[in-house]
């Protein structure tokens, strides 16, 4: 099988590429990534010489490069997205361009070249917030931020291509992922790396917002299962079922790094901050998936990874990463 993984230099995409190359010895992977600030070829430094893997720099909204790649593959898995809520509040235009128009460009190419499967990687945030109970795949979408609205738009467009053109699409919606190679603007790597640098951790409001935490490799396992056994035209929720308030999460990280609560700096809450995301995962469980990574163990391993790989994240937080990365990519060309 030949797969086009878009956004494969990002956090979840790079973990998924590594997972596929290890599990399937006859799969070939093309990685298309624009290499924005959170796309990082260091995420895949251990597989870059694998003969079954090839990287292409480009934008999913660029019809020319998309068609060049799509005509040679069997499957498209679209991880490419602008994904940070805070950035979407300040710069919503880039989210609309990538998440909606970029998805449209991929769907058009998939239709033109009769792709066997198109998997859209989405998010639990498209459902909005819910204080009690769990969202099912059939629930209406109620996004709160420009980011989640752009992802909801991409989901609806993907489903429209299934209904109108019979394009073989599937959609995954996962909860908050964590693990190695996550860009240090997200709460877990930001707080870990801040504390390792001797800096306080900025916690929104009183830290009472709740999130379900899913280890990235459990998400990779779920996407793999959906790729091979998912029903065309369906949406699949993916969650661990392990919920924490942001304050509880912060205390766990502090404890693992031998810090007390004086290292917390409570800051003004962001606009439209969803209180809780929670998913009903009965559909994917019927396919045989269960999370296998326990949070207490996986968070320790995640913290340990950031301790041991300061070479990876220190340049990202230095403000000099774009210049460094431009030089790095020019060398690879």
**24 a catalytic residue:** no
Select which of 33, 42, 127, 147 is catalytic. 147
Helix ranges (DSSP H) in 184-263: 187-196, 216-229, 246-256
Select which of 42, 59, 82, 125 is catalytic. 125
Select which of 33, 59, 99, 124 is catalytic. 124
Contacts of 61 (CB under 8 A, 6+ apart): 97, 98, 101, 102, 105
CA 204 to chain centre: 22
SS (H, E, C) 5-52: EECCCCHHHHHHHHHHHHHCCCCEEEEEECCCCCCCHHHHCCCCCCCC
Cα Rg for the chain, rounded, in angstroms? 19
Q: How many CB atoms lie within 10 A of CB 41?
A: 19
Contacts of 283 (CB under 8 A, 6+ apart): 137, 234, 236, 237
β-pairing, 28-33 vs 2-6, is parallel
CA 24 to chain centre: 22
**161 a catalytic residue:** no
Q: Is residue 246 within 8 Å of residue 191, measured between CB atoms?
A: no
**93 a catalytic residue:** no
Contacts of 256 (CB under 8 A, 6+ apart): 299, 300, 303
Known catalytic residues are: 124-125, 147
């Amino acid at each position: 099988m030949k797969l086009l993984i878009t956004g494969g230099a990002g956090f979840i995409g790079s973990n998924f590429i590594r997972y596929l190359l290890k599990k399937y010895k006859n799969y070939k992977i093309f990685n298309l990534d624009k290499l924005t600030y959170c796309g990082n070829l260091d995420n895949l430094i251990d597989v870059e010489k694998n003969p079954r893997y090839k990287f292409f720099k480009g934008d999913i909204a660029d019809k020319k490069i998309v068609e060049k790649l799509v005509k040679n593959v069997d499957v498209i898995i679209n991880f490419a997205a602008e994904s940070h809520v805070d950035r979407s509040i300040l710069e919503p235009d880039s989210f609309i361009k990538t998440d909606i128009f970029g998805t449209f460009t991929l769907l058009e190419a998939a239709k033109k070249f009769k792709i066997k499967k198109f998997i859209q990687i989405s998010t639990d945030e498209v459902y909005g917030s819910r204080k009690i109970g769990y969202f099912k795949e059939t629930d209406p979408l109620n996004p709160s931020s420009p980011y989640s609205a752009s992802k909801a738009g991409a989901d609806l467009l993907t489903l429209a291509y299934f209904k109108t053109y019979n394009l073989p699409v599937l959609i995954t919606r996962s909860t908050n992922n964590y693990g190695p190679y996550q860009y240090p603007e997200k709460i877990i790597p930001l707080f870990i790396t801040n504390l390792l640098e001797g800096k306080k951790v900025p916690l929104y409001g009183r830290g009472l917002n709740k999130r379900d935490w899913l280890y990235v490799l459990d998400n990779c396992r779920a996407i793999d299962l959906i790729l091979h056994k998912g029903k065309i035209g369906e949406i699949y929720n993916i969650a661990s079922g392990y919920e924490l308030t942001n304050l509880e999460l912060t205390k766990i990280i502090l404890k693992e790094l031998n810090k007390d609560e004086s290292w917390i700096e409570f800051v003004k809450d962001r606009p439209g901050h969803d209180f809780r995301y929670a998913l009903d995962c009965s559909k994917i469980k019927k396919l045989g998936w269960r999370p296998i990574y326990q949070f207490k163990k996986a968070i320790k391993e995640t913290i340990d990874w950031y301790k041991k790989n300061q070479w990876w994240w220190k340049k990202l937080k230095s403000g000099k990463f774009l210049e460094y990365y431009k030089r790095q990519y020019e060398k690879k060309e």
